[in-house]
Amino acid sequence: MKIAIDGPAGAGKSSIAKLAAKELGFIYIDTGAMYRASALYAIENGIEICEKSFTKDVLDKIKIDIKYDEEGQRIILCGKDVSKRIRESDVSIGASNIAVIPAVRIKLVELQRELAEGNNVIMDGRDIGTYVLPDAELKIYLTASTDERANRRLKELREKGQTADFEQVKRDIEYRDKNDSEREFAPLRKAEDAVLVDSTGMTIDEVKNRILELAKEKM
């Protein structure tokens, strides 16, 4: 069984998907982490994030591996565990920018489909229900108001000891919303057959239970 969770930045997709995957005994696949790792490669190697930079040669050098341990999914970029670094805000913006480039998307979608093949998975991202797994048995479009998403992100950053300001976090989210939904290739949008879940004002547990309920109906 495949469950696709799409939605804008900060909607809580990964927290919810992780918890639901644990309860269902499914594999959780965080596709945003792959765009983030690709953006980090560009940042660390001084590669400008634009279409002409990502030739086949460059793409072949971006080696992304996914490992699973008790902490969940780990992202290994060219042999190095970058799971923490990819959560920083320069990488978030870079990921949204790199995600516009079709050649990058094609490479990562191939990896995503390979990981999903033959497994029960919950995959989260922007184009899972519309493009990566169009036959997923359950599709969720998870969203929340911009202010709520910015507040959640702010709390997350502060808990990690990073200094962050509400207006800046909100601007970054608005920038990514626009970039992710207005790009030409596989933009962020709700699949026609996706269930809309607006998590504004809901706790993580309430959202998780709603998703488990929907999953159990399908099972």
Please report, as ranges, the residues that interact with ligand DC according to CB under 6 A. Answer: 9, 31-32, 35-36, 95-96, 99, 125-128, 176, 180
Find the shortest distance in angstroms from Cβ 187 to ligand DC. 8
Find the shortest distance in angstroms from Cβ 216 to ligand DC. 25
Nearer to ligand DC, 135 or 213 (CB): 135
Decide if 132 contacts 5 (C-beta within 8 A).
no
Find the shortest distance in angstroms from Cβ 103 to ligand DC. 13
Find the shortest distance in angstroms from Cβ 179 to ligand DC. 7
Nearer to ligand DC, 49 or 125 (CB): 125
How many Å apart are CA 58 and CA 29, to the nearest integer? 24
Nearer to ligand DC, 155 or 216 (CB): 155
Nearer to ligand DC, 2 or 176 (CB): 176
